[in-house]
Structure 1
């Protein structure tokens, strides 16, 4: 199922830039540019960036500036999604009109005209600021042509309805994977279908659980940010491997990687939900890009098997640490 954002067609699998900007394990700029080029060459022309991906002095926007300085003609080929209005350092959104304007102006300044912002969205909802206020502020930039369209991130079904009443919404970015299917039961997927809004599915590999690289808690080094997340805690880690093992069985029979099965399952939700679902896996190296973007189609039988697994294998632990959970699906 094809999708377009801001009038531009996007491929079936996108690219999440956060993996290139992890402060604890940052990919050198030149290597990151090579990885982005490989992603585009493999068909991933929807790039998911964030003002807070990295540091204030070097984040995904600086990387985009560097990339398009080197490859200026690619700016016409890539659809750029930017999340802003949130500081992970302060763990606090800034979604009021002033916060939105400050965020967009900063993003535009860093990009310096090297590429467009095709989709802009507040990274998280702010319980203290109505979504209508946030959307109206972004809409000011859409009207002047400085931003291509408006998206929503980590939102509830009610928020989608309120936002659509103010301005068309071009995409909704939410977590979706074999580990996280909440949007299927909380009304988000149904509401996206109602309004014909494409879904950008982040963390389709459940932060690495579905890569097969993690077999025990100690496989994550002491600085690994995932050690903060509930699903990776020692008391539930082994239990969550049960789902990994089931996905691995399907992959072995199919003759592909677990990563490819996991991404294919997310992409297959386009049909069941009724709107385009674009997985946006991240990758820190070209080899990972190639694996992520190799298209695999799951049969009806394989989808049924995986859905049956989801019905009997319990995922233990919440999605985010307590400090972030208050901003989930506002």
Structure 2
């Protein structure tokens, strides 16, 4: 493995590389491709290449597929389980056939059921980092975290985390069992965790922050120049960032990021990843192609100065309207 720097994620003992690999796009979700068509062979090659470069921190969820993404990872890491750090998530309600049984379920019984299913799909006897994917409004967070804590005691889960939650929920959960990480969308184009002081809460409590979609769901790559470039069955068509007048305003901002990237002789994506790392967080850019995982990991070895960070943030100042990260924001920041 390479000399990719290792960092503490939170204060509970988990050590990870400075960059992880988001695996969502490697399989279809609900029968539809995510970020374009996927190919199992190329996806597995991407996981293996990431590992060769030191990137052994993989992020998945039972939602992805459902279940097929975890099964793909199981196949990719066969014989080397102990050399990978696997993060998965639960919360969206499914039966064992992958049929939806309600939107979000954080009840004690479902936590246990979902964990056993993920262990089976991953073909492992432990999960390194287990997240609640979204907050269940109908179940107190204390009940959910108590059940997750029991999994830790049983040795089935090593560390726990939450995804897309607000400061009050984080504090209540952390009082029940120490959280290792919170995961939320975060990029140059999405900084609500700063605006809502969520990052301050995490720093105060010693909880790590994992940034998903650090490339703005592919927007920062610059490959999408018009909303029509997005395939008809791609969910990004429904995200405000990619719609109408807002899309073209964002393109103008991206052009300035591209200019800075050219000066540094890197890609805009690499610059965006390096920015997240310079902020002290762990990005998990998603890809299913070897070429891009190589580029992303190379970005983890870039060093941005304080002046570089300030310049990027001057291009897209905190509070700039870039479009909500979901068409319906009711299930995030809770």
* Global fold match (TM > 0.5): yes
Query: Structure 1 length normalisation: TM-score?
Result: 0.91
Structure 1 residue aligned with 2:8, among 3, 26, 48? 3
1:14-163 paired onto structure 2 within 5 Å: 14-22=20-28, 23-24=32-33, 25-56=36-67, 59-69=68-78, 72-73=79-80, 75-87=81-93, 92-113=103-124, 116-163=126-173
CA contact (8 A) 1:243 1:313 kept: no
Q: Does 1:236 align with 2:241?
A: no
* Greater percentage in helix: 1
Alpha-carbon distance in 1 for matches of 2:142, 2:214: 29
CA contact (8 A) 1:246 1:309 kept: yes
Q: Secondary structure at the match of 1:82?
A: strand
Give structure 2 stretches of 5+ with no counterpart: 1-5, 95-99
Structure 1 residue aligned with 2:288, among 284, 290, 314? 284
Name the count of aligned residue pairs: 316
CA contact (8 A) 1:204 1:281 kept: yes
Alpha-carbon distance in 2 for matches of 1:8, 1:235: 43
CA contact (8 A) 1:125 1:329 kept: no
Deviation at 1:219, TM superposition (A): 1.1
Give CA deviations for 1:167-226 in whole Å, capped at 9, x if unaligned: 011111111100011111212101110111111100100001100101111111111110
Q: Which residue of 2 aligns with 1:274?
A: none
Q: Which residue of 1 aligns with 2:278?
A: 268
Deviation at 1:91, TM superposition (A): 7.0
| RMSD across aligned positions (CA) | 1.9
Q: Does 1:245 align with 2:255?
A: yes
CA contact (8 A) 1:8 1:79 kept: no
Alpha-carbon distance in 2 for matches of 1:315, 1:77: 41
Structure 1 residue aligned with 2:326, among 315, 320, 324? 320
CA contact (8 A) 2:91 2:111 kept: yes
CA contact (8 A) 1:242 1:313 kept: no
Q: Which residue of 2 aligns with 1:226?
A: 236
Q: Which residue of 2 aligns with 1:186?
A: 196
Deviation at 1:27, TM superposition (A): 2.3
Q: Secondary structure at the match of 1:50?
A: coil
Cα gap change, 1:91 to 1:258, in 2 (>3 Å): farther
Query: Structure 2 length normalisation: TM-score?
Result: 0.90
